[in-house]
């Protein structure tokens, strides 16, 4: 039996199995196709960007590995993204950091960035069928140091305030151009390596900087703020902690970003969803995979990712939670890293959408906790993978492991020829 016919046959069996539990598989597939993932541009080139400045590195961020073939310029990065899009289903977004501007080979400092530096990105995204999201970039700059927006030095602080203001203006231009709000993420690495005494002062400074940045109101962009547990060489104290941004977001009606690598390894990010939705308008996710620390490993289909997706679906919050990826593994084929992570995230949401949630909630409401636990366990072995293969087939993309050979061929034809 040919593979496609086998996939279709397996799907029909799986569909009947789910229908017996009251799950509408066709409806689940329609919802999955609408789950838009904001794909991070920085996996393609190891968070290098296209500035012509003296990049000093640092700032709590690091890509590890030296696998050959990384994108060296805008054209190569776009070509790689276009290849990725042929291997995933659905309509997605591209998340840009400010350092990826089209600067025309000129040195444009970060407090001078303009929407024009992203005009070619907007046009390319439109032609490619993508929407754009954006990030300010506080790391890897001569003025980064340990403190940016929380810096007591007014000159340095004002530089980063101006940078972030301009990034918001870029985001507004993107949102207006694409007729869809551009979500701009603000993450600063600010912190200290060792014991910190005046913690309150730096957080007061950061709050005032944010107030100044957000003073201008826009209609075509949305602000979100990302916390972190610690950064490299900033292990003891992070100014922009989860508590800080959660408080600021609730007070000022701002989106808060949850990066799954920015918390203690035993802390459940999924559990935060239902609490935060009560007090802030929306949530932004950066889905990553920490191994012992915020190491930004490629997202895989593990319990953390699956539980995150299930919590969102159970809360009926797909319209209030934005899903983005944030990892940068330079030790393996970068196109492969993209596809593994995106497909893993989609698989997690498919499992969530196929869960017999109505029955589980009914058991819970009736105090039938044995039945709840039993069905949760049995649901783990339901034939969701047959539904996934059909989803790929239905959307004319590689089914199962077939994408491996396509990426190998792309490496042979394209990335292996980059010096």
pLDDT (tens, 9 = 90+) of the chain, 419 residues, equals 688 999 999 999 999 999 999 999 999 999 999 999 999 999 999 999 999 876 555 566 788 999 999 999 999 999 999 999 999 999 999 999 999 999 999 999 999 999 999 999 999 999 999 999 999 999 999 999 999 999 999 999 999 999 999 999 999 999 999 999 999 999 999 999 999 999 999 999 999 999 999 999 999 999 999 999 998 899 999 999 999 999 999 999 999 999 999 999 999 999 999 999 999 999 999 999 999 888 899 999 999 999 999 999 999 999 999 999 999 999 999 999 999 999 999 999 999 999 999 999 999 999 999 999 999 999 999 999 999 999 999 999 999 999 999 999 999 999 999 97
Question: pTM, whole model, 2 decimals?
Answer: 0.97
Residues 6+ apart with CB under 8 A from 253: 280, 281
Question: The CATH number of the domain where 194 resides is what?
Answer: 3.20.20.150
State yes or no: is 111 an active-site residue.
no
Question: From the candidates 286, 297, 310, 322, which is the catalytic residue?
Answer: 286
State yes or no: is 297 an active-site residue.
no
CA distances to 60, 103, 192, 383 from 202, rounded to whole Å, are 17, 33, 11, 52
State yes or no: is 226 an active-site residue.
yes
Residue 88 lies in a domain: yes
Residue 18 lies in a domain: no
State yes or no: is 371 an active-site residue.
no
Enclosing domain of residue 216: 36-356
DSSP classification of residue 187: -
State yes or no: is 286 an active-site residue.
yes
Question: From the candidates 282, 326, 355, 411, which is the catalytic residue?
Answer: 326
Question: From the candidates 42, 124, 187, 388, which is the catalytic residue?
Answer: 187
Residue 412 lies in a domain: no
Residue 13 lies in a domain: no
Q: Are strands 283-287 and 255-259 parallel, antiparallel or unpaired?
A: parallel
Report how many domains make up the chain. 1
13 and 386 in contact (C-beta within 8 Å)?
yes
CA gyration radius, the chain: 22
Residue 319 lies in a domain: yes
State yes or no: is 294 an active-site residue.
yes
Residue 134 lies in a domain: yes
Q: What is the CB-side half-sphere exposure of residue 223 using CA atoms within 13 A?
A: 25
CA distances to 21, 76, 254, 385 from 136, rounded to whole Å, are 46, 22, 16, 38
118 and 168 in contact (C-beta within 8 Å)?
no
Angle at 21 between CA 10 and CA 270, to 5 degrees: 95
State yes or no: is 228 an active-site residue.
yes
Question: From the candidates 45, 98, 172, 294, which is the catalytic residue?
Answer: 294
Tokens of 176: 């207006």
């Amino acid at each position: 039996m040919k593979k496609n016919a086998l996939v279709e046959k397996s799907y029909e069996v799986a569909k009947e199995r789910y229908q017996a539990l009251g799950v509408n598989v066709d409806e689940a597939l329609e919802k999955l196709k609408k789950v838009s993932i904001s794909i991070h541009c920085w996996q393609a080139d190891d968070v290098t960007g296209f500035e012509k400045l003296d990049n000093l590195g640092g700032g709590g961020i690091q890509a590890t590995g030296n696998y050959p073939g990384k994108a060296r310029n805008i054209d190569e990065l776009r070509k790689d993204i276009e290849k990725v899009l042929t291997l995933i289903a659905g309509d997605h977004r591209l998340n840009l950091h400010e350092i990826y501007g089209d600067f025309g080979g000129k040195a444009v400092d970060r407090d001078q960035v303009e929407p024009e530096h992203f005009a070619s990105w907007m046009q390319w995204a439109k032609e490619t069928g993508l929407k754009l999201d954006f990030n300010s970039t506080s790391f890897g700059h001569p003025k980064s140091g340990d403190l940016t927006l929380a810096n007591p030095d007014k000159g340095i602080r004002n530089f980063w305030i101006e940078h972030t203001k301009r990034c918001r203006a870029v985001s507004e231009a993107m949102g207006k151009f694409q007729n869809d709000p551009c979500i701009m993420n603000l993450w600063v690495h600010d912190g200290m390596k060792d014991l910190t005494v005046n913690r309150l002062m730096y957080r007061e400074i950061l709050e005032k900087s944010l107030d100044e940045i957000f003073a201008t109101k826009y209609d075509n962009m949305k602000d979100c703020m990302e916390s972190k547990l610690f950064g490299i060489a900033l292990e003891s104290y992070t100014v922009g902690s989860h508590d800080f941004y959660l408080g600021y977001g609730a007070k000022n009606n701002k989106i808060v970003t949850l990066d799954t690598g920015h918390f203690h390894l035993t802390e459940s990010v999924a559990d935060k969803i239902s609490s935060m939705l009560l007090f802030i308008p929306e949530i932004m996710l950066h889905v990553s995979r920490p191994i012992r620390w915020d190491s930004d490993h490629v997202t895989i289909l593990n319990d953390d990712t699956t539980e995150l997706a299930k919590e969102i679906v159970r809360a009926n919050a797909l319209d209030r939670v934005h899903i983005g990826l944030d990892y940068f593994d330079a030790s393996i084929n970068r196109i492969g890293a993209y596809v593994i992570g995106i497909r893993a995230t989609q698989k997690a949401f498919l499992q969530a959408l196929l869960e017999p949630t109505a029955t589980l909630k009914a058991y819970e409401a009736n105090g039938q906790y044995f039945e709840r636990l039993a069905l949760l366990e049995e649901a783990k072995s339901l034939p969701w993978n047959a539904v996934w293969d059909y989803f790929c087939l239905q959307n004319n993309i590689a089914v199962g492991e077939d994408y491996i050979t396509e990426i190998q061929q792309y490496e042979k034809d394209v990335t292996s020829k980059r010096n």
